[in-house]
């Protein structure tokens, strides 16, 4: 079997981390099997779909590195949905109904009051041609329902295991609204069938749609894909995520300086039995990916955990992996600089701060002018390297009688203007003798 998966976002808001998790899992599943990843824009809702949101989808997926093998837009495929409608009508599986929303609500309440399931009574099927004509003469326009076969629908879910729903417990679903617009269900099935989607990996909120969709696949004479329903991501408080509210949007995380691979590394493991650790590229995530490791427990997205993964990722990047990013910030940095500062970065942009401290004028913080003068006088001569700090501070300790914080803290404040930071033994050669001497003298240098 050729594996083909799809990610089908609607351009009605920004993608959030929950959407990204579904996209990533689909992408990893496809690449692990040597298959294809289809990006399908669900833009049938013409009122709420926006070009800027569609572009944001492309930007977000590109940032994550999730290149698509094929792009489709549902707004370009209405003729295919219309053809499927005619086939279902001809086979008696699609029928017209004329109830108003208020009338349907009344029916549901009556059934619930009798402690019965609120299943549609198929009144539309009993209408004669004359009755339908009379209703339309009143100005009513039909919505169209798919007639479910009265049978048990079973499938083996890749995440949830054996699943089944008896269609007799479900209302015949509305596929077409009274205004003629399509709901999600029919276009999704038609597209999955015609695009040869082999595996549908999506959120568990779609589980109840699956029995209906399987019957539509079968009614259209199409191959039913394999389904896998993943538990939905929540925020740290256990609340749901909404792309229209912009909660944990990818654009927001990108602006905050989060590394794409930090987010990928977290989302690829969140909800699985595996420990979370950062990977520097997607190939490593593909190699270790196993859908069977995902459980039915609800995964929580904790921004603090993402922060830890992000920092850990940066701390492990080689200079070769970081060089282009440093150049993009305008830093003519070398490996010595990167190795000196990477362990103190939470964001790549913070490298600019340490470049400033090492290469540009900094106002020193003078805690003890007399001690700094003594330190300045003892600065080693000759070329500075890895042993310079040790030689200098040993001489200074012997001359001043200081040790520990009393020795090192005033030097750090004078040399960097900061309370904390990378080890001074690595920073000192980068700062250089002239700049260090001036700062120890209380001068901005």
CATH class of 369-440: mainly alpha
Stated as kind and residue range, the H or E segment containing 214 is: helix 207-219
Instruction: Pick the closest to residue 265 from 239, 283, 291, 238 (CA basis).
Output: 283
Residue 244 — very low, low, confident or very high, per pLDDT cuts 50/70/90? very low
Domain ranges of the chain: 4-71+184-234, 80-176, 319-359, 369-440
Pairwise CA distance, residues 165 & 211, whole Å: 6
Q: Buried (b) or exposed (e) across 8-46, using 16+ Cβ within 10 A?
A: bbbbbbbbbbbbbbbbbbbbbbbbbbebbbbbbbbbbbe
Pairwise CA distance, residues 357 & 432, whole Å: 11
Pairwise CA distance, residues 23 & 66, whole Å: 8
Pairwise CA distance, residues 178 & 103, whole Å: 14
Q: Is 223 left (phi over 0), alpha (psi -120 to 50) or beta?
A: beta
Q: What is the pLDDT of residue 245?
A: 46
Average pLDDT, the chain: 95
Is the domain covering 4-71+184-234 a CATH 3.40.710.10 domain?
no
Residue 201 in contact with residue 22, Cβ under 8 Å? yes
Tell me the three state secondary structure of residue 199.
strand
Q: Output the pTM of the full model.
A: 0.92
Q: 319 phi and psi, to 5 degrees?
A: -65, -35
* DSSP notation for 305-316: HHHHHHHHHHHH
Q: Could you report the per-residue pLDDT of 265-321, keeping only the tens digit for each?
A: 999 999 998 899 999 999 999 999 999 999 999 999 999 999 999 999 999 999 999
- Tally of residues, the chain: 445
Tell me the three state secondary structure of residue 364.
coil
What pairing do the DSSP bridges indicate for beta strands 174-176 and 143-146? Answer: antiparallel
Q: Is 257 left (phi over 0), alpha (psi -120 to 50) or beta?
A: left
Structure-token match 């669900």, residue found:
42
The CA–CA distances, whole Å, from 171 to 100, 134, 168, 187, 212 equal 16, 25, 8, 19, 10
Both tokens of 68, joined, read 């698509």
What pairing do the DSSP bridges indicate for beta strands 152-157 and 70-73? Answer: unpaired
Q: Half-sphere exposure (CA, 13 Å, Cβ side) for 178? A: 11
Pairwise CA distance, residues 36 & 34, whole Å: 7
Question: The domain at 80-176 falls in which architecture?
Answer: Alpha-Beta Complex (3.90)
Do 80-176 and 369-440 have matching folds?
no
Pairwise CA distance, residues 214 & 209, whole Å: 9
Q: What is the pLDDT of residue 189?
A: 98
Instruction: Determine what percent of the chain is predicted with pLDDT higher than 90.
Output: 94
Pairwise CA distance, residues 357 & 406, whole Å: 22
Residue 168 — very low, low, confident or very high, per pLDDT cuts 50/70/90? confident
Residue 145 — very low, low, confident or very high, per pLDDT cuts 50/70/90? very high
**Beta partners for residue 72, in sequence order:** 40
Q: Could you report the per-residue pLDDT of 4-24, keeping only the tens digit for each?
A: 999 999 999 999 999 999 999
């Amino acid at each position: 079997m050729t594996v083909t998966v799809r990610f089908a976002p609607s351009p009605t808001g920004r993608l959030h981390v929950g959407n990204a998790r579904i996209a990533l899992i689909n992408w990893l599943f496809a690449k692990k099997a040597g298959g294809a990843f289809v990006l399908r824009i669900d833009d049938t809702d013409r009122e709420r779909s926006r070009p800027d949101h569609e572009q944001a989808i492309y930007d977000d997926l590109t940032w994550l590195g999730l290149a698509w093998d094929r792009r489709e837009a549902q707004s370009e495929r209405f003729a295919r949905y219309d053809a499927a409608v005619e086939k279902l009508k001809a086979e008696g599986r699609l029928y017209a109904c004329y109830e108003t929303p208020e009338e349907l609500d009344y029916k549901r309440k009556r059934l619930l009051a009798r402690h019965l399931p609120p299943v549609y009574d198929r009144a539309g099927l009993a209408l004669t041609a004359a009755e339908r004509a009379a209703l339309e003469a009143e100005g009513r326009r039909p919505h169209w329902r798919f007639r479910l076969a009265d049978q048990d629908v079973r499938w083996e879910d890749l995440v949830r295991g054996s699943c089944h729903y008896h269609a007799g417990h479900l209302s015949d679903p509305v596929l077409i609204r009274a205004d003629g617009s399509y709901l999600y269900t029919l276009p999704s099935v038609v597209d999955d069938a015609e695009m040869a989607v082999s595996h549908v990996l999506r959120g568990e909120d779609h589980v109840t749609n699956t029995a209906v969709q399987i019957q539509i696949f079968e009614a259209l004479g199409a191959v039913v894909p394999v389904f896998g329903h993943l538990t939905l991501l929540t925020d740290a408080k256990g609340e749901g995520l909404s792309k229209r509210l912009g909660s944990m949007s990818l654009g927001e995380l990108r602006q905050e300086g989060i590394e794409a691979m930090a987010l990928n590394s977290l989302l690829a493991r969140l909800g699985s039995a595996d420990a979370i650790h950062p990977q520097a590229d997607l190939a490593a995530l593909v190699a270790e990916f196993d859908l069977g490791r995902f459980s039915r427990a609800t995964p929580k997205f904790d921004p603090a955990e993402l922060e830890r993964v992000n920092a850990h990722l940066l701390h492990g990047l080689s200079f070769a992996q970081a060089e282009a990013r440093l150049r993009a910030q305008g830093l003519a940095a070398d490996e010595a600089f990167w190795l000196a500062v990477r362990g103190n970065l939470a964001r790549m942009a913070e490298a600019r701060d340490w470049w400033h401290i090492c290469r540009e004028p900094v106002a020193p913080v003078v805690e003890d002018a007399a001690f700094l003068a003594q330190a300045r006088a003892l600065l080693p001569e000759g070329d500075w390297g890895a042993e310079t700090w040790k030689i200098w501070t040993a001489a200074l300790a012997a001359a001043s009688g200081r040790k520990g914080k009393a020795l090192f803290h005033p030097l750090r404040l004078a040399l960097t203007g900061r309370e904390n930071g990378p080890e001074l033994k690595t920073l000192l050669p980068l700062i250089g003798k002239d700049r260090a001497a001036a700062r120890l003298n209380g001068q901005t240098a």
